[in-house]
């Protein structure tokens, strides 16, 4: 993820990661969430529906809360339902999305208006530029076949080596 200067003092385009959680997808409010983010002027760059999510991916995503008592329950919840993974771009998008997400008890925020369960909170948004980059890399690995599979190719023993093995 690169930041792009818009030529104005303090104006920098950023990218952030947004995960629309299973409770929002199942209730049919994912479109409302995407609209609220877009209405604020943030640009939807990429959106993928994941009918299910591998629990290992969820554990990697939430590794920063692995010692919390709700970690396993949260991973189970995310991996047992459909989610939308998205990349949004905009000026100060990381903090802007976090402000729009808000807290469940704050009316006017996404969570305040759309959460209807004490535990589940409809949306995740990156909390820093650094975490946005790592979350984007985790959920949207490169589309380049070579870089996507390089780690795997190095990790397994090639039983029928090609003449190009030294390039791996």
Q: Which residues are catalytic?
A: 124
The phi and psi torsions of 61 (rounded to 5 degrees) equal -60, -40
H/E element holding 91?
Answer: strand 83-91
Strand pairing category for 12-20 and 4-5: antiparallel
DSSP 104: T
3-state helix, strand and coil shares in percent for the chain, rounded to the nearest 5: 45, 20, 40
């Amino acid at each position: 993820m690169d930041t792009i200067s818009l030529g104005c003092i303090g104006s920098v385009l950023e990218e952030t990661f947004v995960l629309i959680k299973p409770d929002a997808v199942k209730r049919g409010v994912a479109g409302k969430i995407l609209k609220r983010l877009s209405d604020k002027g943030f640009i939807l760059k990429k959106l993928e529906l994941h009918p299910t999510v591998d629990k290992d991916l969820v554990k990697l995503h939430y590794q920063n809360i692995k010692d919390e008592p709700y970690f396993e329950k949260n991973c189970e919840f995310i991996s047992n339902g459909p989610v939308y993974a998205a990349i949004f771009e905009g000026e100060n998008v990381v903090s802007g999305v976090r402000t729009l997400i808000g807290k469940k008890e704050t009316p006017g925020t996404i969570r305040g208006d759309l959460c209807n369960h004490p535990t589940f909170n409809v949306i995740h948004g990156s909390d820093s530029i650094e975490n946005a980059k790592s979350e984007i890399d985790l959920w949207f690995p490169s589309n380049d076949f070579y870089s996507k599979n390089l780690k795997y190719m190095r990790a397994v023993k090639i039983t029928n080596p090609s003449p190009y093995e030294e390039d791996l």
